[in-house]
Structure 1
Amino acid sequence: MDALSAPNPVLEIVLGTLTLVVIIFVHGAGIRSINQRFSKSWVHVDHATPHWRVNLLLALTIGALAALHFAETLLWALPVSLLGLIPSMRDSYYYVLQSYTTLGEGTVSLPEQWRLIGPIIAMSGLFTFGWTASVLVSVMTEFGKLDRLRAEGLKDKGQAGPGSGAS
């Protein structure tokens, strides 16, 4: 354990980078799985699908993305706690959440000799949140297409809508 108490920036960067790669791999696999489930459900959606079902699909997709981020932060917190860098698992998880979201305002911190891990955790959060945002843009694009299809259906039925000139 003495090796862990002496400052070694190379060890910090190597261990941090290896964990970062694992986190990003887990995120990629999780995103792919969530995308596949969304696509399999979305092929059954058409203009007649009730709004509540479409909204439930959106909520489940967002929930799955959030769960993925919580799992990834747990993957960071486990070694931080198990190595005794922050002995309490709750405090380790709190620290990781603070770093992962780049908020960084926490009262819990790593020991001086391990402080390079915090920015690496933040890098993983930036990567994964960016990737998640791109997935949400893709999902919302599908919702926009559905909304447009439904609006055109109303127009074709002769129902008044925005811009139709009817009051």
Structure 2
Amino acid sequence: MMLPFLVGTLVSLACIGLHALVTVVAVSIARSAGLRHTARPRSHLMGVMMATAVVLMVAHVLEVLVWAATYSIVGAAAAEDGLLYFAFVNYTTLGYGDITPVREWRLIGPLTAMNGVLLFGWSAAVLFEVLRKTLDHLEAAKAPRSASG
């Protein structure tokens, strides 16, 4: 029981690190894009939000690939059942149950789900913060500038 917990914890930490890296990149790109002056602020906001969401989705797919590779390495389930699919079902907490892990690796599914829930929440927070900051900038750009200088 300890080996699956240890492996799941290490993979979770790796995915958290990957998500942190992608978050830093996404926020820096969104910040620079959000600071641009534009004649079409709504379209600009939509573009910033869509780009940020796509970058975060790519991070989630990479994290699912890390989990699928881990499942393959440890033999958590039969490879012919589709380990990538199994990782997606666990990570997104769908829990279809059509593929089940081998008995000694049962704990890895819930650990994957816990990691996915955490990282999806993190992504939602990042998207909200990018939206808030971009809106703040767009509002500041619309405000009349003071004559003092």
Change (3 A) 1:89 1:123: farther
In structure 2, the residue matched to 1:60 is 51
* 2:31 paired residue number: 39
2:106 equivalent to 1:120: no
1:23 aligns with 2:18: no
Identical counterparts, % of pairs: 28
Measured at CA, do residues 138 and 17 of structure 1 come closer, stay the same or move farther in structure 2, by a change above 3 Å? same
Which structure 2 residue ranges, 5 or more long, are not aligned? 145-149
Letter of the structure 2 residue corresponding to residue 19 of structure 1: V
What is the alpha-carbon distance in structure 1 between the residues aligned to residue 106 and residue 100 of structure 2?
Answer: 8
Once the two structures are superposed, the pairs formed by residues 76-155 of structure 1 within 5 Å of their partners are: 76-88=67-79, 91-145=82-136, 148=139
TM-score normalized by structure 1? 0.75
| CA deviation after TM superposition for structure 1 residue 150, in Å | 7.7
Q: How many residues align?
A: 144
**Which residue identity lines up with residue 115 of structure 2 in the other structure?**
S
1-structure distance, mates of 2:6, 2:142 = 54
In structure 1, C-alpha distance between the alignment counterparts of 2:138 and 2:7, rounded to whole Å: 47
CA distance in 1, matches of 2:15, 2:22: 10
**Which is greater in Rg?**
1
Which runs of 5 or more structure 1 residues have no equivalent in the other structure?
1-8, 154-167
Q: 2: distance between equivalents of 1:66 and 1:81?
A: 23
Q: Is contact 1:95-1:106 (8 Å) kept? A: no
CA distance in 1: counterparts of 2:126 and 2:79, whole angstroms: 34
User: 1:116: Cα distance to partner?
Assistant: 0.3
RMSD: 2.3
Contact 1:78–1:89 (CA under 8 A) maintained in structure 2: no
Taking CA–CA contacts closer than 8 Å with sequence separation of 6 or more, which of the two structures ends up with the larger relative contact order? 2
Distance in structure 1 (CA, Å) of the matches to 2:15 and 2:81: 20
Q: Structure 2 length as normaliser, TM-score?
A: 0.84
